[in-house]
Structure 1
Amino acid sequence: MLSGSCYLPHPKKVATGGEDAHFICADEQVIGVADGVGGWAKRGVNAGVFARELVSNLVRAIKKSVNSEGSFNPLNVLKKAHSKTMAKGSSTVCIIALNDEALNAINLGDSGFIVIRDGNVIFKSPVQQHSFNYPYQLGSDKNCDLPSSGEVFTVHVEPGDVVVAGTDGLFDNLYTDDIAALVVCAIIDRLEPQVTAQMIAALAQQQALNKNWLSPFSAAAREVGHHYRGGKRDDITVVVSYIL
């Protein structure tokens, strides 16, 4: 699994580094994203600190798990990392590992991943939310969700498949077919996953600023009776992995 990533913070959050975090453990063949929940800003808390600490703890837990046990259990790793995260805030999280011919993954909240094969989306992790725009989240507050609330997946993959993981800044602004079309172009042009991730993130950011775009977020808002138009400005994280 060959991976690359791109992170574009919300234009107003560049100075603080935004609220997303991600990782690529190349040797262990594990990737992941986390999205600090922006609502904490009303309490004077930068949830990006929580997301980054969670990711740091995930990387340590992954390396320890793989090196000592020789196997990877996404839920156990998430439990260990969450128990050691002491910062205030909360975050969604998605972890994806390649084991033999399958992806072992856990997703909690509205980050997630898709698998593309021959230009078609063959898998998309479902969104977990309590209500519209209120995702499941791990956090320091007693009202937050637990790692066990995350959905665990096993997805069989083949050489040539492409995995695209991202925070909601990606999936709120681009439909999966849009992402798949970019991946097809990237494969034809023999682009590295890093460049593919940059292309996808750039289009997501472009559509986030498009007030006339019927984005996935605006479509979902309309379904629940909210009048929302255009894309959704947000931090955007994209991690692309080619299955070799």
Structure 2
Amino acid sequence: MFSTCPQEHYFDCPYQLSSEAIGQTSQDALVCTVNLMEGDMIVSGSDGFFDNIFDQEILGVINESLGTDEAAKALAELARKHSVDVTFDSPYSMEARSRGFDVPWWKKLLGAKLVGT
């Protein structure tokens, strides 16, 4: 499995591709070359997708799906489900805690966690 690193200025401030003179343009994008084989599947998504779904979950959904359309729909639905579940310990919430961010203590008592949006 090949995966790129988040492209961000700092935590929770990802690059925003734009055609404006200020900000990031396509020239700032990370370009990678990956050798593919027949049967390989490419999964691409925004931070809203990868903030809410773990790589192992992606592999599991792909392996259980009958085709690319079914896999894409199932992955999108799983990411959406996780994004609204305040008790789900998402990739985003784990990274946020590792960088010193968290929900207020009183929300923790209610079982809330930071969620990716």
More strand by share: 1
| Counterpart residue identity of residue 56, structure 2 | D
Q: Percent identity?
A: 31
Please list, as runs of the form range in 1=range in 2, the aligned pairs for 1:130-149 lying within 5 A after superposition.
130-149=9-28
Q: Distance in 2 between matches of 1:130 and 1:149?
A: 12
**TM-score in terms of structure 1 length:** 0.42
Q: Distance in 1 between matches of 2:22 and 2:101?
A: 26
Q: Show the counterpart of 2:96.
A: 221
Q: Distance in 1 between matches of 2:8 and 2:94?
A: 16
Say whether residues 1:128 and 2:35 are aligned partners. no
| Counterpart residue identity of residue 126, structure 1 | C
Per the TM alignment, residue 130 of structure 1 is displaced from its structure 2 partner at its CA by 0.4
Over the residues paired in the alignment, what is the CA RMSD in angstroms? 1.5
Q: Show the counterpart of 1:192.
A: 67
Offset from partner CA, 1:110-161 (integer Å, 9 cap, x none): xxxxxxxxxxxx1002111001111112225543023222111110011121
Offset from partner CA, 1:208-240 (integer Å, 9 cap, x none): 11111110111111122111414323xxxxxxx
Say whether residues 1:164 and 2:56 are aligned partners. no
Q: Distance in 2 between matches of 1:205 and 1:192?
A: 20
Q: Show the counterpart of 2:83.
A: 208
Q: Show the counterpart of 1:232.
A: 116
Aligned residue for 1:130, secondary structure, equals strand
Q: Structure 2 regions of 5+ residues with no counterpart?
A: 104-112
Q: Is the 8 A contact 1:208 1:230 kept in 2?
A: no
Q: Distance in 2 between matches of 1:198 and 1:214?
A: 22
Please list, as runs of the form range in 1=range in 2, the aligned pairs for 1:14-53 lying within 5 A after superposition.
none
| Counterpart residue identity of residue 170, structure 1 | F
Per the TM alignment, residue 192 of structure 1 is displaced from its structure 2 partner at its CA by 2.6
Please list, as runs of the form range in 1=range in 2, the aligned pairs for 1:107-118 lying within 5 A after superposition.
none
Q: Is the 8 A contact 1:210 1:230 kept in 2?
A: no
Distance 1:155 1:140, change over 3 A: closer
Matched residue count: 108
**TM-score in terms of structure 2 length:** 0.83
Q: Is the 8 A contact 1:182 1:199 kept in 2?
A: yes
Instruction: Please point out which of 151, 154, 170 is paired with 2:33.
Output: 154
Q: Distance in 2 between matches of 1:140 and 1:154?
A: 24
Q: Distance in 2 between matches of 1:224 and 1:141?
A: 31
